Amino acid sequence: MWVSVDLCVVPIGVGVSLSPYVAACERVIAAAGLAHQLGPNGTAIEGPWEEVMACVRACHVELHGMGAPRLYTTLKLNTRTDRQQSFAEKVTSVEKLLGD
């Protein structure tokens, strides 16, 4: 099953600056070879369900390995059975309507 997710992993107990953890998670996602787009409050990722979920787990493993004792994660999921639609296509569809 194809899935599009919005992932936000927040390390707790590591101080105020989270950018090193965001960067580490972005490297994990890039290494997984999944389509992704960094946003200001999370990362959009898409691909086969098993690969995306493995990537989410890998992000947790990486951040815990960096010393984060606790992670709070929000994950929004979107699946379709009628067709495969990328997150870029979803954005383009709305932008087209805004341009009309």
The Cβ of residue 42 has, within 10 Å, a number of other Cβ atoms equal to 19
What is the DSSP-derived secondary structure letter of residue 74? E
What is the pLDDT confidence band of residue 27, given thresholds at 50, 70 and 90?
A: very high
- With vertex at residue 72, the alpha carbon angle to CA 45 and CA 8, rounded to the nearest 5 degrees, is 25
pLDDT of residue 99: 86
Q: What are phi and psi of 66, to 5 degrees?
A: -85, 0
pLDDT tens readout for residues 38-91: 999 999 999 999 999 999 999 999 999 999 999 999 999 999 888 888 888 888
Hey, what CATH topology would domain 2-99 get? Alpha-Beta Plaits (3.30.70)
Work out the average pLDDT over 90-100.
86
Q: Which residue has the tokens 């979107």?
A: 78
pLDDT tens readout for residues 4-13: 999 999 999 9
Joined together, the tokens standing for residue 39 give 């946003």
